[in-house]
Amino acid sequence: MKEMLQKANRENYAVMAINCFNLETAKAVIEAAEEMRSPIIIDLLQDHLKEHLDIRYLTKPIIRMANNTKVEVAINLDHGQDVAFVKQCLHEGFSSVMMDASMYPLEENIRITKELVELAQIYNASVEAEVGDMGAVAGDHFTNDEMYTDPDDAIRFIKETGVDCLALSYGSSHGDYPEGYVPDFRFDIVEKIKAATKLPLVLHGGSGAGEKNILRSIELGINKINVGSDFMKAQKDFLQKQLTEQPEVDYPTLVHQSMAAGKEVVKRYIELSGSKNKA
């Protein structure tokens, strides 16, 4: 993922990172990237890997899919908070891991992340981290002032850890916003950190962030955009519609068609991110 984001950084676009949780979703995302001739990042969330399908059964087939495609595919652990689990993912062949120690004080976040960066170098893997707190949509609760990334903390963190990219909290949240809601972004946070470090920066919670916010973010130096909710919601909405209109449809056909609905969302985000034809 390091080289992928460095290229995006030089050419001022972003690479999409899509949350997948099984082989079907990973296949849909890779096919969308192939059709758009775009680099792509498969984000596998720690919670999904622990709750749904063990990495020992999931990682190798996705790596095989990645190796058999004509575009660049990175496999990244998303929000790895268990250090032992993050290490296991490196051993299993992840090309990148996110060491999310953002819940700790800055000094501890730096210490934990720096150790992971040193370990990841043995595996030739890249490391993403987070300073601030993206949080999640819960009722009417979104990002607040206390959750925003402190630019000075982020600049220090980058210099002391050697991370390959950093996730910032500057207005987005994980999950689905209420219909019609578009978050306000603190672009000054991105500007200050980018100017001081020139590092690839990451937007989490890209779903529902709004086209203008995303385009401005890329313009200011965001090079990786995470999307999960919109991808999964498209599949869920399709399933609900099909089961209502065609309740007798067979399950394999239903699953295959829902993946096609998810692919269209990924392709729209690739177009928006500027990564089309960048593979």
Annotated binding site for Zn(2+): 79, 100, 130, 174, 204
Strand, helix or coil for residue 41: strand
Distance CA 26, CA 55 (A): 13
Q: What are phi and psi of 80, to 5 degrees?
A: -75, 115
Burial 173-202 (b: 16+ CB within 10 A, else e): bbbebeeeeebebbbebbebbbeebebbbb
Q: At what angle do helices 23-36 and 55-67 cross, to 10 degrees?
A: 20
In one-letter notation, the amino acid at residue 65 is: M
Q: Which residues are catalytic?
A: 78
Tokens 């908070």 map to which residue? 81
Distance CA 98, CA 5 (A): 14
